[in-house]
Structure 1
Amino acid sequence: MTEQQNLIIRPLDGQHDKAAFSCGTQSLDHYIQKQASQDERRRISRVFIASTELKPDKIVGYYTLSTLSIELNHLPPEQAKKLPRHPVPAALLGRLAVSKEAQGTGVGKMLLVDAIKRTLAISSEIAIYSLVVDAIDENAQKFYEKYGFTRLNTQSNRLCLTLQNI
């Protein structure tokens, strides 16, 4: 992909060619092709699509956002001791995928930055303590850790970045 500077990130709509998307991970391909529109309609998650100005219907990458609560015992002890004794609100970056042809071009980083910006924007309206991600594999975990995400105590693939640290 050479038009990275012309990347557009917007909500999923009926114009996007979901069937043609392939990132090389079957569960992520299946999600955008078969499940994403249903999750949108049911208000389970919001799906944001990256495409280019030249090909606005072609999906270059995508991510999902939804909400969750984090139990205090899942947070690192140094964070948990500073918080009230009840679950804290968070945003969940449930999936992030980049098409095979766009991998290695910075699209993943741009999608992550967009997710962080959206989370920060909504945090001025509703309380959000952190952005949580589910790393699909070790490479994804390293990607998120490079941007300051740290593992939660209970699940090795679940990481978080407090909004205060952004």
Structure 2
Amino acid sequence: MTDYSNLVIRPLDSNHDRSGFHCGVASLDNYIQKQARQDVKRRVSRVFVATAAEQPNSIVGYYTLSTLSIELGQLPNALARKLPRHPVPAALLGRLAVGQAAQRHGVGKMLLVDAIKRTLAVSDEIAIYAMVVDAINDRAQYFYEQFGFSPLGSGNQRLFLPLKSI
């Protein structure tokens, strides 16, 4: 049985078995299996994978990080009033997925915490106002809200977390 408490999270590389990853959401499975390596090579996204020590090439879960700008009109007025009158920089957690066998074992939380830590570390070098996530469904939105993420704009499942609140 896999020990999910001691996973290693590192950048995706050519040794990882992407074809064996299945989380139950076709778009997330297809991304890691078919698109992730190309995005890394093109430098449009960074992909981080969680693996167990006993199976270092088997992907237990993954997430992606990239950047984006948040238009002031998307932010709550109380925050927007305190910011310069131009879009603010943010880190985008575009995808987060956990393999079916590892679901409900805290792996999603572990991946999210790792993504936040990496973003905070980078924010010491470059300006990042917030972390933004695109929740794929209501269950994912609820998951992110438990960690303090709030809706960004209206009518969608894009959420944000100002880094100063961490």
- Give the Å deviation of 1:155: 4.5
Number of the residue aligned with 1:129? 129
**Aligned counterpart, 1:72:** 72
C-alpha distance in 1 between matches for 2:68 and 2:155: 15
Counterpart of 1:9, as a letter, is I
Q: Give distance in 2, aligned partners of 1:26 and 1:156.
A: 20
TM-score w.r.t. the length of structure 2 is 0.98
Secondary structure of 1:22's match?
coil
Secondary structure in structure 2 of the residue aligned to 1:34: helix
Task: Give distance in 2, aligned partners of 1:15 and 1:155.
Answer: 40
> How many residue pairs end up in the alignment?
166
* Residue in 2 that maps onto 1:115: 115
The runs of 5 or more residues in structure 2 that have no matched partner are none
Measure the CA separation in 2 of the matches of 1:140 and 1:88.
Answer: 25
Q: What pairs up with 1:78-97 in 2 under 5 angstroms?
A: 78-97=78-97
Task: Tell me which residue corresponds to 1:7.
Answer: 7
Change in 2 beyond 3 A, CA 1:155/1:41: farther
Per-residue deviation, residues 42-61 of structure 1 (Å, max 9, x unmatched): 00100000001000000000
Per-residue Cα deviation, 1:41-91 (whole angstroms, up to 9, x for no partner): 000100000001000000000000000000000111111111010000000
1:73 and 1:9 map into 2 onto residues whose CA distance is 35
Contact 2:65 2:92 in 1 (8 A): yes
Equivalent-residue separation in structure 2 for 1:72 and 1:9 (angstroms): 33
Deviation for aligned residue 1:153: 1.4
How far 1:161 moved relative to its partner? 0.2
1:26-105 alignment, distance < 5 Å? 26-105=26-105
When the two chains are superposed, the root-mean-square deviation of aligned CA atoms in Å is 0.8
State, as a whole percentage, how many aligned pairs show the same letter: 66
In 2, distance between residues paired with 1:5 and 1:93? 22
Shift of 1:2: 3.8
Q: Would you identify which runs of 4 or more consecutive aligned residues in structure 1 move more than 3 Å?
A: none
The one-letter amino acid of 1:72's match is L
How high is the TM-score relative to the length of structure 1? 0.98
Residues 103-131 of structure 1: per-residue CA shift (max 9 Å, x gap): 00000000000000000000000000000
Question: Contact 2:89–2:128 at 8 Å: present in 1 too?
Answer: yes
Q: Helix, strand or coil for the counterpart of 1:164?
A: helix
Distance in 2 between residues matched to 1:79 and 1:112, nearest whole Å: 24
